[in-house]
Amino acid sequence: MTKNPALTGSPCQPIWGTGNLFSSQGVAMPSILITGANRGLGLEFARQYAAAGWSVTAACRDPSRAADLAALSVETVELDLGDPASIRRAADRLAGRSFDILLNNAGIYGEGQQFGRLSEAEWERVMLINAIAPLKLTEAFLPHLLAGQKKLLVFMTSKMGSIADNSSGGAYIYRSTKAALNAAVKSLSIDLAPRGVTTLLLHPGWVQTDMGGPNALITAEQSITGLRRQIEAVEPGQPLKFVDYAGEVLPW
């Protein structure tokens, strides 16, 4: 079989078919779709899952410029979460494929978070990427997820989206978009449970990435190692959890 020409990336070790990927021994490999996989946490997720023997589909806006992804044994697909048509195209290009995990990792912080200097246009842009697009992506890729074994939906959120935990104020745009994501995912977890889908909300911690900055407390490797433990600990059908990379349950 040949690789789907709509997909780009480094040559993969698995054998390609029309559905799941198989190892050289003919065993179906667990599969994951990761958004925002060209840098930061998404890139580290792709690196670790690929190293663990998963079939990784790494989505980003411009795979041709994702040099770090090209060095991994993953497939890449073009996906711009700010463009609904791009989401539909990606789902169509991957038609017939199944994913055990759909990992909604992509997100942005936004500019002008101070009261008195809030931009409506920026607020709308960040809300689209952080809260609306993950739900639209889930709509588009739900058939792929239902065809998988685990049927696990994972959303990267933030403790800054917690209303109960907000003791410092500020960050109006980022906080509100992550709170909106949390609320939407709560409804999603209820609506999709009868279809066998399990849902998880994750906070990565304060991580040394472009968003977190060099003074953050932990590295991307440490964060993702912990987050993967939380993902692996999920029991099918369990109620929605909002946890951090260390497994601490966070307040809503």
CATH value at residue 236: 3.40.50.720
35: left (phi over 0), alpha (psi -120 to 50) or beta: beta
Residue 189 belongs to some domain of the structure: yes
Q: How far apart are CA 75 and CA 63, in angstroms?
A: 10
Residue 126 belongs to some domain of the structure: yes
Q: Bridge-partner residues for 203, per DSSP?
A: 244
CB-CB neighbours of 73 under 10 Å: 18
Mean pLDDT within 223-251:
98
Residue 250 belongs to some domain of the structure: no
**Tens-digit pLDDT profile for residues 33-74:** 999 999 999 999 999 999 999 999 999 999 999 999 999 999
Longest dimension (CA), the chain: 61
Q: How far apart are CA 39 and CA 244, in angstroms?
A: 20
**Tens-digit pLDDT profile for residues 184-224:** 999 999 999 999 999 999 999 989 887 777 877 899 999 99
In the chain, the number of structural domains is: 1
**Tens-digit pLDDT profile for residues 109-145:** 999 999 999 999 999 999 999 999 999 999 999 999 9
Residue 2 belongs to some domain of the structure: no
pTM summary value: 0.89
Q: What is the CA radius of gyration of the chain?
A: 18
Domain of 34?
A: 8-244
